[in-house]
Amino acid sequence: MRHGKKFNHLGRKSAHRKAMLANMACSLIEHKRIKTTLAKAKALRPYVEPMITRSKVNTTHNRRTVFSYLQNKEAVKELFDEIGGKVAARPGGYTRILRTGFRLGDAAEMCIIELVDYNETMGAKSTGAKKKRTRRSKAKAEDAPAADATETASDASTEAPAEGGES
């Protein structure tokens, strides 16, 4: 049974899929933007992003770990020497997938997957660190202790007469 096996097999056996993802990752690192099908792009994203994260710290161990996946020394060199420095400030989310339409022949949904930091035009105006957003309500956080205080106070007031009644 395939319960809980969530990732897309892309119609390939494990070795074929790994080889294809390695080739696609090398192409993405070399060209910074590749055109592919949406399913392959979505499979590539969780494959290549951890490697880009590793490229931020240029150590022999990291290089060898990435090389064990990519099997391409030019790609590893490009990744650690060029891309690693460029994405240093980005906390994940190094790739962008843009849907472009449907392929003639099999009507597969096509897209472009690119490295966010190498697209000069898209999102250029929103450069710099985004303001950190929080979904926690400040008002609630302040109310909660206050509410507790009033509850305990009311408890005390109800208890006090009861005790008085007993005695």
How many CB atoms lie under 10 A from the CB of residue 35? Answer: 14
Which residues inside 82-101 make contact with another protein, applying CB under 8 A? 98-101
Residue 123 binds another protein, judged by CB under 8 A: yes
Asked whether 117 and 86 are in contact (CB, 8 A), the reply is yes
| The one among 19, 88, 89, 122 contacting another protein by CB under 8 A | 122
Q: How far is the CB of 84 from another protein (least distance, A)?
A: 25
What is the spatial distance between Cα 55 and Cα 48, in angstroms, rounded to a whole number?
Answer: 11
In which residue are the tokens 């660190």 written? 129
- Region at 93 (left for phi over 0; alpha for psi -120 to 50; beta for the rest): left
Nearer to another protein, 71 or 100 (CB): 100
DSSP 8-state assignment for residue 116: G
Applying CB under 8 A, which part among 10-18, 63-71, 83-91, 120-128 lies near another protein? 120-128
Looking at beta carbons only, is 10 or 112 nearer to another protein?
Answer: 112
Residue ranges binding another protein (CB under 8 A): 98-101, 112, 119, 121-124
